[in-house]
Chains A and B, each alone.
Chain A
């Protein structure tokens, strides 16, 4: 009899079985190993800060969040960092740097934290450090001298834009006219928390939102967890800190 030209073959199923067994065993392995501390840092930031008893914070001048003048920096975020350090029972070493260099410092491991009134968008755009969650959301609004003169819309109205705000486009989009001379407009663009303190009245016109964040090295998830947990407890105190910082 001639050999069958089309013999049935059997396919080895071993590779597949090994794969399935591996995927089932992996989480169990991780579970036993990971129950102690979760999440963890790839570069051990939290452990090394605790071990060394100090954290290095890159601070970039941006009042009222960070006021770098004098021997010791002050400001809303400086106070938050000091309270965080207190909670961890470590001291703070300050590095005074321009904004981008501050973010680079955390990515290079020269600093454990970067502050400077950063917005989430600005940190994400630089693409060197990770932002925390937004511990404070600032609304940039249009304010009028008093409630009676508050307009319903910006149609053709001049609005004064202080030098530190970037809202010109938002004002134009709403039909307004951004101006940079305080005397040529009665309306003014302001962060919402500053309206009452400036003796102005809100108009109900919002221009933009700024989500305030701190920045840290990417992937340091235990450090991020610790910091965010702390920040969530401080959220309510931020308006008071802003009040005190002026």
Chain B
């Protein structure tokens, strides 16, 4: 992991090390929860569903650790772009797992409503006093949401500092965990009120929220993988760095005009800036200097190349070269008679 951390500045390197430790601890905690539930499953269908949901919670932390490990590997002849995009793949996997949890919960709670299952909760004797078992269930559920709340918040902070979308979807998974737990506790209170449907309705509301998050992030992950212009971590807007890069290039006195094409690869931005230079003299040296300067804009800008062009054209106006079809991408214009 240290090798991959070398492409990060010191604060991010520290954050990444913390995130790895956090995920290892979380995996251990999760394993203990899953084991405990496995041995108390009994015949309860509801417990089985909760268990499957917990199993799916393993996906984001594992995806995170695997992609961080791959991200660390140096590019090779066979993989000249390195492995930084592994993070985007891990993000897709985590987002699908999150959506699956939502889907699971919806089916489960809808079935309970359709079958009009009236949950029966009896009594338990503690220190010679007979109390309603529901109180004990509520206590256990509230206890079970404490850890996901704490871990989720820690992951969210690290996700922002590392611009890590797997950590973000993992934090959302933790949010799903604690909200489901809280909904279940409210459901038990509702059952005590004589509302047999309370439990299922509470679960259904949470499930819709979880599914919504899952579907939204699955979409964002797919868009990342088809090289959408980079978006912010929460997918609410385009990445402000796009503007910074454009303004930087447009501010150069030797650049007449420019077009940029950026993509998100894991936590990094890569891409190409096409420029029409005002003068050809010393062009190679200028380009190399500005490529280095772009890297200095942010640690997340990683491999942005500057390509000189005589003119910039839109794809629709790009002419075909001989009997070859016109190229799809505006940057790859094959001008007749030129390389």
Contact = CB atoms under 8 A, between A and B. Distances in A.
A72 interface: no
Interface string B106-128: 00000000000111111111000
Given A218-B120, A232-B125, A41 B237 contact: no
A18 to B, nearest CB: 12
A9 B179 CA distance: 28
Given A219-B118, A219-B120, A224-B123, A39 B192 contact: yes
Interface string B78-94: 00000000000000000
Contacts of A184: none
A7 B122 contact: no
B122 A11 contact: no
A39 B194 contact: yes
A124 B243 CA distance: 65
A225 B123 contact: yes
Interface in B168-215: 179, 182-183, 186, 189-196, 209
Interface residues of B, number: 35
A133 B209 CA distance: 37
Contacts of B229: 6
Contact of B195 (A8, A38, A42, A132): A42
A206 interface: no
B299 interface: no
A232 B189 contact: no
B152 interface: no
Interface in A219-237: 219-222, 224-225, 228-229, 232
Contacts of A41: 194
A9 B237 contact: yes
B238 A39 contact: no
Contact of B43 (A9, A27, A124, A220): A124
Contacts of B118: 42, 217-220
Contacts of A42: 118, 194-196
B194 A40 contact: yes
A26 interface: yes
Interface string A25-42: 011001001100011111
Nearest to B123: A228
B202 to A, nearest CB: 9
B130 A39 contact: no
A83 B150 CA distance: 51
B238 A6 contact: yes
B240 interface: yes
B143 interface: no
Residues of A contacting B: mostly: loop
Contacts of B239: 6
Contacts, number: 96
A39 B121 contact: yes
A133 B132 CA distance: 12
Contact of A39 (B125, B179, B191): B191
Interface in B284-319: none
Contacts of B183: 23
B22 interface: no
A4 interface: yes
Nearest to B229: A6
Contact of B236 (A10, A26, A218): A10
A9 B43 CA distance: 49
B236 A133 contact: no
Contacts of A11: 234, 236
Contacts of B196: 42, 219
B41 interface: no
B120 A224 contact: yes
A23 B205 CA distance: 11
Contact of B191 (A19, A221, A232): A221
Contacts of B237: 6-10
B27 interface: no
Nearest to B234: A11
A189 interface: no
Given A130-B120, A221-B121, A232 B192 contact: no
Contacts of A44: 194
Nearest to A6: B238
A124 B44 CA distance: 11
Nearest to B189: A30
A9 B122 contact: no
Contacts of B122: 132-133, 221, 224-225, 228
Contacts of A4: 243
Contacts of B154: none
A230 to B, nearest CB: 10
8 contacts: A9-B237, A30-B189, A39-B192, A218-B119, A219-B118, A221-B132, A228-B123, A232-B123
Given A33-B193, A224-B121, A232-B123, 8 more contacts: A9-B237, A23-B183, A39-B193, A218-B119, A220-B118, A221-B121, A224-B120, A225-B122
Interface of A: 4, 6-11, 19, 23, 26-27, 30, 33-34, 38-42, 44, 124, 130, 132-133, 217-222, 224-225, 228-229, 232
Interface of B: 43, 117-125, 130, 132, 134, 179, 182-183, 186, 189-196, 209, 229, 234, 236-240, 242-243
Q: Which 10 A-B residue pairings sit nearest by Cβ, starting from the closest?
A: A219-B118, A40-B194, A6-B238, A39-B192, A11-B236, A8-B237, A130-B120, A228-B123, A218-B118, A42-B196
